[in-house]
Amino acid sequence: MTNVIETRGLVKRYGDLTAVDHVDIAVPQGTFFGLLGPNGAGKTTTLELIEGIREPDEGEALIFGEKVWPRNRALLPRIGVQLQASAFFERLTVAEQLRCFAELYAVPLTRIDRMIELVGLEDKRTVRTEDLSGGQKQRLSIACSLIHDPEIVFLDEPTAALDPQARRNLWDVLRAINAEGRTVVLTTHYMDEAEILCDQIAIIDRGKILTTDTPRNLITGLGAAYRILLSEGAVSEEEANRLPGVESASLDNGTLALTTHEPSPVLTALAERDALHGLQVTSATLEDVFLTLTGREYRA
Ligand SMILES: Nc1ncnc2c1ncn2[C@@H]1O[C@H](COP(=O)(O)OP(=O)(O)OP(=O)(O)O)[C@@H](O)[C@H]1O
Ligand SMILES: [Mg+2]
């Protein structure tokens, strides 16, 4: 698979602070790639170095095999950029805003309706941008970044400050953008968002990439046990301890908690005993991955 983005030893310093510390990233074409890290980790700075907006102190970033710095104009039609703080032209409606971008990029005006539809702003096309909700503004800024049909789109915390429902709606939009064959690079400090959306996640902390892998590999790589929780009385503690695959079973405050590395035989045995009442299964999460890598709790 070809890598459409590659960085080699990328470094950016602000005085004594190394905001981006020898970052190596490779993003295959068509990937939904997530840069996950807490506030101040260096996500935006890394993105800006890749987009060719900032000059690195060391290293280089390549898009489609071409250096992005010094600013490479040939790349601009092929990438779409949504900045963390989106700015719109003043006093324009949604449709007018998109028209400005369409004209700047000299793309057919039919793209405007296509973009409005993609991000679900059909009923807001004549509304001025200052009268949009936070989530609608995020959608519009994504639409603006896509107007020229770029092959790669960079989204810097597109779902920040949205309520859970609005975030989920926007996830559908982001999935659709990726399903059209575009490479998507997203930054987020939400673990669940990275886990659900991304094919590949790079976890960044204090300017350094700690690890890069699929969400599944990151989590299963910990080798952590599954916890199976049952209501008291579903099976007795003694019986639970004898079930195939169960490593431990204990009753605590009305909940019977089993630990296992092999959930399938345990769940099968429980089903045979008609003991699935109140069942919950939990596995390790990306938070556990972060804790293991840094020794610190993840505080977004
Ligand atoms: N222009 C700048 N001048 C000085 N320091 C900066 C500048 N931009 C960023 N920094 C610092 O570099 C570090 C990384 O910032 P960056 O914005 O890349 O983090 P981030 O991961 O995007 O954080 P957030 O989740 O809050 O958006 C931070 O400590 C920040 O204070
Ligand atoms: Mg940021």
Q: How far is the CA of 41 from the centre of ligand 1 (A)?
A: 7
pLDDT tens track for 63-95 = 999 999 999 999 999 999 998 877 888 899 999
pLDDT for 125 equals 97
pLDDT for 149 equals 93
Average pLDDT, the chain: 93
Q: Closest ligand to 188 CA?
A: 1
Give the least confident one: 192-196, 240-244, 284-288: 284-288
Q: How far is the CA of 170 from the centre of ligand 2 (A)?
A: 18
Of 45, 156, 159, 210, the one to substitute when testing ligand 1's pocket (max ligand atoms within 8 A of C-beta) is 45
φ, ψ of residue 51 to 5 degrees: the values are: -75, -10
Query: Does residue 172 register a pLDDT over 90?
Result: yes
Average pLDDT of span 226-242? 91
Q: How confident is the model at residue 185 (pLDDT cuts 50, 70, 90)?
A: very high
Beta-carbon contacts of 226 under 8 Å, excluding residues fewer than 6 positions away, are 259, 260, 261, 263, 281, 282, 283
- Cross-strand bridge partners of residue 41: none
- The closest-lying atom of ligand 1 relative to the alpha carbon of residue 37 is 21
Q: How far is the CA of 49 from the centre of ligand 1 (A)?
A: 12
- Residue with tokens 């926007």, as numbered in its chain: 170
Q: Report the candidate in 160, 216, 221, 151 with the shortest Cα–Cα distance to residue 185.
A: 151
Q: In what order do the strands lie in the sheet with 3-14?
A: 17-28, 3-14, 58-63, 66-67
The answer to whether the beta carbons of residues 212 and 25 sit under 8 Å apart is: yes
pLDDT tens track for 203-212 = 999 999 999 9
Of 36, 43, 299, the one to substitute when testing ligand 1's pocket (max ligand atoms within 8 A of C-beta) is 43
Q: How far is the CA of 40 from the centre of ligand 1 (A)?
A: 5
pLDDT tens track for 7-59 = 999 999 999 999 999 999 999 999 999 999 999 999 999 999 999 999 999 99
Q: How confident is the model at residue 248 (pLDDT cuts 50, 70, 90)?
A: very high
- SS3 assignment, position 217: helix
Distance CA 194, CA 186 (A): 9
Q: How confident is the model at residue 233 (pLDDT cuts 50, 70, 90)?
A: confident
- SS3 assignment, position 170: helix
- The closest-lying atom of ligand 1 relative to the alpha carbon of residue 12 is 12
pLDDT for 222 equals 85
Supply 256's token pair. Answer: 């019977």
Residue percentage of the chain with pLDDT more than 70: 99
Average pLDDT of span 98-120? 94
Query: Does residue 250 register a pLDDT over 80?
Result: yes
Supply 122's token pair. Answer: 């059909």
HSE of 237, CA atoms in CB hemisphere, 13 A: 11
Following DSSP, what letter does each residue of 43-69 receive, concatenated? HHHHHHHHHTSS--SEEEEEETTEE-T
CB-based pocket (< 6 A), ligand 1? 14, 17, 19, 37, 39-45, 84, 189
Domains of the chain: 3-218 (3.40.50.300), 226-282 (3.30.70)
Query: Does residue 297 register a pLDDT over 90?
Result: no
Distance CA 64, CA 150 (A): 12
Query: Does residue 234 register a pLDDT over 90?
Result: no
Of 14, 20, 36, 157, the one to substitute when testing ligand 1's pocket (max ligand atoms within 8 A of C-beta) is 14
Ligand 1, atom 12: nearest CA belongs to which residue?
19
Which one-letter amino acid corresponds to residue 78? R
Beta-carbon contacts of 111 under 8 Å, excluding residues fewer than 6 positions away, are 98, 102, 147, 148, 149
Query: Does residue 300 register a pLDDT over 80?
Result: no
Distance CA 190, CA 38 (A): 8
Between the alpha carbon of residue 122 and those of residues 25, 33, 300, the distances in Å are 37, 28, 33
The answer to whether the beta carbons of residues 70 and 49 sit under 8 Å apart is: no
Following DSSP, what letter does each residue of 79-111 receive, concatenated? EEEE-SS----TT-BHHHHHHHHHHHTT--THH
Distance CA 10, CA 128 (A): 40
Ligand 1, atom 28: nearest CA belongs to which residue?
40
